[in-house]
Amino acid sequence: MIYCGIDWAEKTHDVALVDDDGTLLAKRHITDDATGYKILLDLLAEHGDTEDTPIPVAIETSRGLLVAVLRTGKRQVYAINPMAAARYRDRHAVTRKKSDPGDALVLANILRTDMHAHRPLPQNSDLARAQQDAVWNRQQLANQLRSLLREYFPAALDAYLHWQNGLCRPETRVLLELAPTPSRAARLSLAQLRSALKHAGRQRGIDADAERIREVLRAEYAHQPPLVEDALGKQMLALLRQLNAACIAADQLAEAVEEAFPQHPDAEIILSFPGLGTQLGARILAEIGDDHTRFTTARGMKAYAGASPITRASGKKSSITRRWVKNDRLNHTGYLWAFAALTASTGAKAHYDRRREVGDWHAAAQRNLFNKMIGQLYHCLQKHILFDETLAFRTELPAAA
């Protein structure tokens, strides 16, 4: 069997192919363009890469055009963590020397010796990941905007954070654009406020909100000097334009996920779980993939998600802690899933309450609930069955009743 390792870089890549004995069969330096990709595919084909017997490839990234080209067909691509690759490098040289061709050879040997210990990239769409990135970017910009408003316009926070997701709402963005400074905001009339709310899409409660906002904006606050206030207002408008673009991108990607995810064969199973809607369900699927043989046991999926604890033992000392090495995207989604399940499932709420009673903090109880539910998800996907709360929480339901 032949194994391929690719040391990835921004403009060029180093490729190495080894056989079962670790003999270097070929090495090549390619460019990061269509010509380089063709050279790579031709090199793989020369050494026996076919549609039925593709050569597995190890690379230190999971994204980019090179990875997309390699993932065509049935070829398995393994994204090796750079820290893991650095540890393997020490097996071949104790002098800590490093070179790009040498790293490519190390990656190929990782597959030759320990391919069973690594998981190939799942065959899925990056749409859910893009939507998650857009939401994170939107929140980051909203946090920056909030910090800036605290410096010179606290009345805006008092007036607009009254709404859920206050700074990201269309009403807030329209009003901030209309009056970027506290001096201009204090001069807004009820008619202007009503018009701005209608322009943002509000249909109910316009008069009450307009009166509430005017009272807050006209209350007494400390002010920056006029020139400083105007400068900060212009800075806020520049940041607001970025937030507007981030909000539009997040909404458009969410609509795309709403259209694409229900068409997947596993969507019905995933959506049958309490707390999982289209957006969270799509993020779960994007990380675990739709290859049901990717995880041999539920413990493997739990460890991948960072839900299961890890035991560290040395001599007479032993400690059980949460995992730090994990899929951060899946772990983040798991906390949201567990939190939403508390109100959507009686059994999940009873399980959470039981963990709190035995001494778990909120985050630990949520992580324990996520650990339990992702194991149930693995079982349902393997058996092709929908979630059944009476089977999933047999012990918790009587206690909750």
Domain ranges of the chain: 3-117, 130-257, 267-400
Residue 393: which pLDDT band, with cuts at 50, 70 and 90? confident
Residue 399: what pLDDT?
61
Q: What is the dihedral of CA 384, 386, 389, 395, to 10 degrees?
A: 0
Q: 3-class SS at 161?
A: coil
Encode burial over 307-318: b for 16+ CB neighbours within 10 A, e otherwise: bbbeeeeeeeee
The span from the CA of 376 to the CA of 388, in Å, is 10
The separation between the first and the last C-alpha atoms of the chain, rounded to the nearest angstrom, is: 58
> DSSP 3-state assignment of 99?
coil
Q: Is the pLDDT of residue 397 over 70?
A: no
8 Å CB contact between 89 and 103: yes
Handedness of CA 163, 165, 168, 169 (dihedral sign): negative
Give the pLDDT confidence of 177-214 residue by residue, as tens digits.
999 999 999 999 999 999 999 998 888 889 999 999 99
Distance CA 96, CA 365 (A): 43
CATH code of the region 3-117: 3.30.420.40
Helix (H, G, I), strand (E, B) or coil at 225: coil
Q: How far is CA 158 from the centre of its chain?
A: 31
Q: What local confidence, expressed as pLDDT, does residue 285 receive?
A: 92
What whole-number distance in Å separates Cα of residue 19 and Cα of residue 109?
Answer: 9
Q: What is the pLDDT of residues 301-357, one digit of tens each?
A: 999 999 888 888 888 888 878 888 888 999 999 999 999 999 999 999 999 999 999
In this structure, how many other beta carbons lie within 10 angstroms of the beta carbon of residue 196? 21
For the chain, give the number of residues: 401
Q: How many CB atoms lie within 10 A of CB 21?
A: 6
Place of tokens 């008092």: 158
pLDDT tens readout for residues 147-179: 999 999 999 999 988 888 889 999 999 999 999
| Cα(144)–Cα(128) distance, integer angstroms | 25
Q: Which of 190, 244, 243, 197 is nearest to 217 (CA)?
A: 190
**What integer pLDDT is reported at residue 315 of this predicted model?**
81
